[in-house]
Structure 1
Amino acid sequence: MFDEETITRRTVLKTTGGSLLAVGAGGLAGASPDEEVRVNVGFDSGRGRSAALDAADEVVREFTFDAATLRLPKRAATALAERDSVRYVERDGTARALSTTWGYDRIDADVANINGYTGAGADVAVIDTGLPCDDPCLPNVGSGKAFVDCSSDCCAPWDDDNGHGTQVAGVIGADESCSCTTGIAPDATLHAVKVLNDYGAGSYSDIAAGVEYVARQGWDVGNLSLGGSSGSSVLKDAVEYATNNGVLLVGAAGGSGPCTSCVGYPAAYPEVVAVSATNRNDELASFSSRGPEIELAAPGSDITTVGSGGCATLSGTSYATAHASGVAALVMAQGYTNSGARTRLQNTAEDLGLPSDEQGSGLVDAAAAVGLNSSDD
């Protein structure tokens, strides 16, 4: 049976030929003794088959080879596993098609997702131009709030009349059925906090109000794929307030590169995780801002995501930030506090050998962050 702690991308691709992720069978440790579980049972004799079928509350499927899929209490599954005539008992898992987005694969989000880490239970606020009401790639949009007016023909006050918020949200949490991409945290709930207008611009006070709102809702992650070259006292107050109230804020370093000490605000504030952008060669993207405030790096060049009415391939620290926010959602879904998740992201990042003002602690690593072995070896 597969061990969740040892599945790596190489194992997955070797098993499937690179076309479909292998089933992450998972263990039974998290289930209570009387909880009904769905398991695959392999046996090597008729006695083993009879024992398995007799123990089942429901026989889901019998294979022509020596195995069956059953529903039964965990207690019964554990007893079956101890029989000499039973080769294995594994909890049934889920397979997902591989994403075509290189950034998703590069940070081992595929490994995290196939092992069941999908961000379920986490709330991510997309503090941006809004989110669509009914995009099939984003069925996990929750509530919303608008701090700027939406242009005409909006489905809700927080509708995305620009497209940038939708693009960012696709990287964070697009559904696995989306033809454009799979989000890092496809089961996280995304909330629209519209602080930018249809031109993609917004005042610092509107952004501050949006950040304050996120804190008052008690949401886990606030994605800030926006910024300016100068600071603001009210925005500084807002990010301090949100951080003190449990929100992990993740911000875009900015696109002023090549440059030195040019990280924009609010990412430059110590309360915000500042994210730089890398390319397919694990180099700092030429457009990415850099500076001592950089905390993490993430893929941000030629990223395929959800566009207005289709798919779009885009570059920017906005999309690098979205990768980091998606991983933050995976971590906080496990019960980490905002400060604990921030430390976890730092400690599990992959060192790319870049200067610290370009990569911070390194490239964000989804599989390592949730406790999986993400090595390709």
Structure 2
Amino acid sequence: MKKRVILTISLIFVISFLIGLISGCSQPFEQEQFSQTQQQGLAPVIKSAENTIPGKYIVVFKENVLPKGDFKSVAQTVNKIAGEIASTYGLNLEHVYRYTIRGFAAEIPEDKLIALRADPRIDYIEEDGIVYAFAQTLPWGIDRIDADISSTKAGDGSGSVSGVRVYVIDTGIQLNHPDLNVVGGVDFTGKGTADDGNGHGTHVAGIIGAKDDNSYVVGVAPGVELFAVKVLGDDGSGTFSNVIAGVDFVTQQKLNNPNLPMVANMSLGARTGTSYNSLDYAVVNSINAGVVYAIAAGNDG
């Protein structure tokens, strides 16, 4: 695994990306489009992804239908509204989002979509799309980080970064890997396990936190706690709705553990030019909750 770790460094803190993300997402869709549909009394249907999934949507609730209380009260209300909508329109919900955006993901037939757009609780609806694990390239940055002279260096794998947890939002992590301090995992792909069947997430986890045991490359934060958030399948692809579910989960963990420093890594993306509004909002709200994000950059032009 350590040999694979040396292939790339996709863990990059991109401050400019986050600033642009926050400033560029003040509206989830074009104002003209919003105004037109609002005048018609319908929630707009937004197509953001280049590679959309027919019939699959992310539905976001209006803020004014939610309470102003603590996050647990908001989550309970989201559950209630999502359940009512699912019952009314005969939908099977794939994900319910409670902590970043508030809404759900589901497969929605055309006739149900028309009716749902007229529901006064719905802010907007966005078509789901495909995301991919970023391809790996040569890691000039591993040596530049100088993890091998980290203050945690022990040489026997016992030294570790403590008091921080990193959530790897990816294809999962090999949960029993001896070089990684994996403390848990969750699956949003339907596989039933957060174990990595692709290798990409384990590779990324190694870059982040491979233990210092005098063998090949040491991670950026050797021995740090790693938590697998599986949103991509064994073929390295997944959906925006899965990724948002992962971001929502990490945010919930932060809200439940406000004093534990948390970092989330996402080394994934979509076709060049894709800007997915619901995911943008979810990440911004997660950052506002206190999660630090590390985003891969430069992989796709």
TM-score by length of 2: 0.46
Structure richer in helix, relative to its length: 2
Bigger Rg, which one? 1
TM-score, length basis structure 1: 0.37
